[in-house]
A = this chain, B = another copy of it.
Amino acid sequence: MAKGFTKRKENYSEWYNEIVNRADLAEHSSVRGCMVIKPYGFAIWEKMQSILDKMFKKTGHTNAYFPLFVPKSLFEAEEKNAEGFAKECAVVTHYRLMNDPEKKGKLMVDPKAKLEEELVVRPTSEAVIWNTYKNWIQSYRDLPILVNQWANVVRWEMRTRLFLRTAEFLWQEGHTAHETKEEALEETKTILDLYAEFAEKFMAMPVIKGVKTESERFAGAEDTLCIESLMQDGKALQAGTSHFLGQNFSKAFEVKYANREGKQEYPWASSWGVSTRLMGALIMTHSDDNGLVLPPELAPFQVVLVPIYKGEEQREIVVNKLKNIKNALENEGISVKLDDRDTHKPGWKFAEYEFKGVPVRLAMGMRDVENESIEIVRRDTLEKKSYDMHDLAGKVKNLLKNIQENLYQKAIDFREEKTHFVDSYEEFKSILDNEGGFIYAHWDGTSETEDAIKKETKATIRCIPIDEDTKEGECIYSGKHSARRVIFARAY
């Protein structure tokens, strides 16, 4: 176990912070609420980006780039959207600094450089994008528009946590326009499936696909679909959302197209996004009391090679062997780091890479050279074995596949264990306080009940799950009729 490192059961929140910090993933910056994503953390995000980007392109989307700033008059055009984000907007009011006449070497905002219209730093880009689509859409031939952008956005948050909630974060936001309602709905669903596939296949993180209730909906959407995952402290985390926007934005920005009959219509829209929040989800899904655990599909390097030797002669022999192994593994498409630094001891390296969650560690000393063997440790179980060198690359490849599957299965098992079907409000509260997890309970469908439960227990309706059986029942809170169970949880 990592020395001096907080355990999950002692203080889950501190445990999370220590992983982010000591595994070199991210840190707080001098700017309130903004984070620095460090190279090791960013390499994981880059892997996520690259996989998602390929998935978007395969489903017909292209990337573009829209301005960082939204003029206030555009921002307020779609009322609900504006209302939803107005309270957390960074606002640019001036475009120049000047020397402070009273403090030598200091600068001040130049009062003469006040903008006529304030600019909002985008908290999301529907407004600026739909204002652009006005120029792009005239006829049904211009549809669908299937555009995504990778960008930074800013939402002024008072309480921030690295990756999970920061004032500035990185994300992708897709914005599509369609001829028909059905097409827009289908797109919304296609992306939800894509997000779920990404989460399960690459992050090894099981998710539940569902629909948000009205009060949890994206500001300006007709419907918000989401994927919800469960963290090890029993709290839920919304990992991605896909919104059906109806014609709200096309109407707000007066975007019309001539349909196949030559009549003017408002196009239908979707928008969808995942963010660096996924990093938080990834960390909390798999990591343990020894530090970060990464699924092989997203590890910056999947295998680390550590030589063990005494003296320069041994070093040369062992390192040369490891260089050959590196090549062999890389030829199989495995990403490898050989740490042959002489400034650090093998024990230090073992601890370091264990903490950083590298899926597989291979260590080789003189005895291994003589025996044609190598020591292998898998990060997920910390199991140690000696492998003979025959088809080592093939074995490591299988092992990585196995680790990926094992992490997913472990997370599935954990979620099952923490999933409760509850029929009374007393039991509901008791489970929330003692166990956490996803609680399937009947709800009468009203915002009043939802709000009351939230107020009393801090649990929210995470979603109305899509792919599950629907059976009627009685609301745990009001006793009224319930069309089906929904999922409650406390959430990030």
- Residues of A at under 8 Å CB distance from B? 27, 29-31, 34-39, 42-43, 45-46, 62-72, 74-76, 79, 82, 86-99, 105-107, 109, 118-121, 128, 131-132, 135, 141, 147, 151-152, 154, 156, 168, 170, 343
CA A29 to CA B74, docked complex, whole Å: 12
A105 near B89 (CB under 8 angstroms)?
no
Do residues B94 and A91 form an inter-chain contact, with CB atoms below 8 A? yes
Determine whether the beta carbon of B93 is less than 8 Å from that of A34.
no
Supposing A65-B42, A69-B168, A95-B90 touch, asked if A31 and B119 sit within 8 A by C-beta, the answer is: yes
Separation of A128 and B34 alpha carbons in the complex (Å): 11
How far, in whole Å, are A330 and B95 apart by their CA atoms in the complex?
49
| Residue among A92, A93, A109 with max Cβ neighbours from chain B (10 Å) | A92
- The answer to whether A39 touches B68, judged by C-beta atoms less than 8 angstroms apart, is no
A36 x B132 contact (CB < 8 A) = yes
Residues of B contacting A39 with CB < 8 Å?
62-64, 147
Given A65-B37, A90-B92, A120-B97 contact (CB < 8 Å)? yes
- Contact partners of A96 in chain B: CB under 8 A: 86-89, 91, 156
* SS class, residues of chain A in contact with chain B: mixed
Bound state CA distance, A120 and B108, in angstroms? 11
Q: How many angstroms between the C-alpha atoms of A313 and B153 in the bound complex?
A: 51
CB–CB A29/B128 < 8 A: yes
Min CB–CB distance A156 → chain B (angstroms): 4
Known: A69-B31, A74-B30, A156-B96. A64 touches B42 (CB 8 A): yes
> Contact at B65–A170, with CB atoms within 8 Å?
yes
Q: Nearest residue in B to A135 (C-beta to C-beta)? A: B27
- What are 7 A-B residue pairs whose CB atoms fall within 8 Å in the complex? A30-B131, A35-B67, A39-B63, A43-B63, A86-B99, A86-B107, A87-B98
Q: Which residue of B lies closest to A24 (CB)?
A: B136
Which 9 residue pairs are nearest across A and B when measured between Cβ atoms?
A34-B67, A39-B62, A37-B65, A86-B97, A95-B156, A91-B94, A31-B67, A93-B93, A31-B69
Distance between Cα atoms of A106 and B75 in the complex (Å): 10
**Cα separation A436 to B75 with both chains bound (whole Å):** 45
* Closest B residue by C-beta to A37: B65
Q: A30-B128, A90-B95, A92-B121 are in contact. List 11 more A-B contacts (CB 8 A).
A: A30-B74, A36-B64, A36-B65, A37-B64, A67-B168, A76-B107, A86-B96, A88-B95, A92-B92, A92-B93, A95-B156
Cα(A46)–Cα(B49), bound, Å: 13
Query: Which chain B positions have C-beta within 8 A of A76?
Result: 105-107
Distance between Cα atoms of A46 and B168 in the complex (Å) = 23
Q: Does B36 lie within 8 Å of A66, measured CB to CB?
A: yes
CA distance A43 to B63 in the complex (A): 7
Distance (whole angstroms) from the CB of A462 to the closest CB of chain B: 28
Cβ B128 vs Cβ A70 within 8 A: no
> Complex Cα distance A89/B115, Å?
12
- CB neighbours of A93 from chain B (8 A): 91-94, 109
Q: For A106, give the chain B residue with the smallest CB separation.
A: B76
Chain B neighbourhood of A67, CB < 8 A: 29, 31, 34-36, 168
Residues of chain B within 8 A (CB-CB) of A94 are 90-91, 93
Decide: A97 and B87 in contact? CB cutoff 8 A.
Answer: yes
* Closest Cβ neighbor of A35 among chain B residues: B67
CB closest chain-B residue, reference A100 = B76
- Report if A42-B71 is in contact (Cβ < 8 Å); known contacts: A92-B121, A106-B76, A109-B93: no
